[in-house]
Structure 1
Amino acid sequence: MKLQIVPARTGLQWVQLGLRTFKSQPLALAALFFLGMASMSLITAVPLIGPVIALALLPCISLTMMVAASEAAHGRKPTPALLLVAFRSGSQHTHAMLTLGGLYAAGFLLIIGASSIVDGGTFASVYIGQTPMSVELAEDPEFQSAMWMSMLLYLPLSLAFWHAPALIHWHGISPIKSLFFSLVACVRNFGAYLVFGICWAGVFIVSGMVLAMVTGILAAVIGPIAGGLMVATALMLAAMFFSSIVFTFRDCFSPPDEAPDTAVLPSSPPPSPPSTEL
């Protein structure tokens, strides 16, 4: 397996491919994402261990969307059965995915715990829904410090888990190695990921502005459902975002025969990037 070094402009291509793939199968991809989020919400309701289990399942949901996007890019319709794709490839694969999920939950809880040192646990309480958000809290310096510290600590965790589910699924790599290779890939292709993040931030901001304008103009008509419309739009955008992740994986690692051979933009053929042996 080789790490591919891609130019920064590839980040824009990933966003375009994600949007194009979602457009090809919008209902199927959105339904899978909604089902995944609904499942996690139901699990979270279980006392004590529910939130931890939900955190541990997040890498599995990410893998579901990557496999589903790969299927859609090949012209095939993703099915709800893909929700269990992380557990359908044998006991060794299932154990690896469960281990990865446990590591993610542990890392996330450590970050939340570290934020409690700064503000006494207020940010953690708000994040898990035990304390309602308020203007006073948002303006509190300790709360802001805890929030920014959590975001800073979450960045390396997110990068380490970005490709890890796909590396386990398509390359059969162990959980620890997958975390290392994922982090290295993100760091070595920092420019492309920066462009990717900026472009998606732009998509979210523009979409939010358009939605706010529409709901403002049609407030008298859609007033009672404006909140639901905004939530549905946010979930739809999140599904689009997750549909683009598989392309970041496809271009960062040399694909073996079993890797997702997803389509590239016809108008922008992929460059021949240098590679680094892992």
Structure 2
Amino acid sequence: MKLHSVPAATGLQWVRLGMRTFLRQPLAMSGLFFLFMVAISLLALLPFIGTALSALLTPAANLGLMAASREAADGRFPMPSTLVTAFRAGPEKTRGMLVLGGLYGLALLVVLGLAALLDTSAPVAADAAEMTAEAMVQATLASPSLWVAMVVMVPLQMLFWHAPALLHWHGVPPVKSLFFSAMACWANKGALLVFMLGWMGVFMLLGLVISVVGALLGGAQVLTIILYPAVLFMASMFFTSIYFTFRDSFHTATDPDGTPPPTDEGAPS
């Protein structure tokens, strides 16, 4: 396994590959993403330990979605059991994935603690109920804790972006997988930036289309009916595309299981 640098334009190819792979298995990919969200949300509702458990299992769940994307890219139907791929590779890799989850939860705790320390917002006034939505948004955006949390989350996401896949498919130990993930993200920062901007553009375009369709067909009620499945599909497409950011960031002659890596038309060589 070697780090592979790609041109910035590859970010748009990742967006396109995510869309195309999703459209091969739209029901499977959206269904798996829905199960992922439901599982994480239900865990978070458990008293005392729910939030910790959801953070602990997040890297494993992300790996499951990447494995599902790989199955769909290879023309196979990803089954629900794909979501627990991280726990089907033996006790050593299972322990490693749980270590990643623990580190992820600890890192989130540090970020939230730092944001809380820097939260200097004034106490809510007695007539806060009369505040307009615009005023509430402005007050939120003015909070330094929000911006600090957003800035700190960037290196945190870089550390964990490729780490579960590196651990599972290449046997990289947890701490080393974090290091190599951050190195890969930095080496391909141009492509990842284009990737994120591309998806932002797609979501903005989708929002515009939904607004126009809702206005033409009946206003807010129709808009609500259209919005939820559209957001589910788009979020599923985004998570489908993450697999390709990993696949093209590390150069190997063969996949870890000995089969040649998938070759998609238009993918970088």
Match of 2:256 in 1: 258
Q: How many residues align?
A: 257
CA contact (8 A) 1:247 1:262 kept: no
Aligned to 1:179: 178
Matches within 5 A, 1:163-242: 163-219=162-218, 223-224=220-221, 226-242=223-239
C-alpha distance in structure 1 between counterparts of 2:80 and 2:133, whole Å? 38
Distance of 1:117 and 1:137 partners within structure 2: 21
* Shift of residue 16, structure 1, vs aligned partner: 0.8
Give the TM-score normalised by structure 2: 0.89
Q: Please say if residues 56 and 105 of structure 1, whose CA atoms lie closer than 8 Å, have aligned partners that are also in contact.
A: yes
My pick for the range that moved more, 133-142 or 165-174, is: 133-142
Q: Does 1:101 align with 2:98?
A: no
**CA shift for structure 1 position 134:** 5.3
How much does 1:46 deviate? 0.3
The CA distance in 2 between the partners of 1:182 and 1:44, in whole Å, is 27
Question: Any stretches of 5+ residues in structure 2 without a counterpart?
Answer: 123-131
* Displacement over 3 Å in runs of 4+: 133-137, 223-226
Task: Give the SS at the match of 2:28.
Answer: helix
Residues 113 and 121 of structure 1 are in contact (CA less than 8 Å); yes or no, is this contact kept in structure 2? no
Mapped to 1, the partners of 2:72 and 2:88 lie a distance apart of 20
Show the 5 A alignment for 1:10-29: 10-29=10-29
Q: 1:125 maps to which residue?
A: none
2:67 aligned residue: 67
Paired with 1:216 and 1:145, the residues of 2 have a C-alpha distance of 37
Instruction: Describe the superposition over 1:15-71 as per-residue Cα deviations: whole angstroms up to 9, x where unpaired.
Output: 111110000000001100000100111111101210121122221221111110110
Q: TM-score, structure 1 length as denominator? A: 0.86
Which digits, 9 at most, give the CA deviation of each residue in 1:189-232, with x for residues without a partner?
11111111111111111011111111122225xx4463353233
Identity of aligned residues (%): 44
Q: Which runs of 5+ in 1 are unaligned?
A: 123-132, 272-278
**Separation in 1 of the partners of 2:168 and 2:121?**
36
In structure 2, how many angstroms separate the alpha carbons of the residues matched to 1:194 and 1:269?
18
Equivalent residue number for residue 55 of structure 1: 55
Give, in angstroms, the shift of residue 253 of structure 1: 0.4
Q: CA contact under 8 A between 1:58 and 1:101: conserved in structure 2?
A: yes
Compared with structure 1, are the counterparts of its residues 73 and 141 closer, same or farther at alpha carbon in structure 2 (3 Å cutoff)?
A: closer
Query: Which residue in 2 is equivalent to 1:40?
Result: 40
> In structure 1, what is the equivalent of residue 241 of structure 2?
244
Give the Cα separation in 1 of the matches to 2:62 and 2:267.
27
- 2:268 alignment partner in structure 1: 270
The aligned amino acid for 1:164 is: A
The Cα shift of 1:87 comes to: 0.7
- Is 92-101 or 49-58 further displaced after alignment? 49-58
* Secondary structure, aligned partner of 2:3: strand
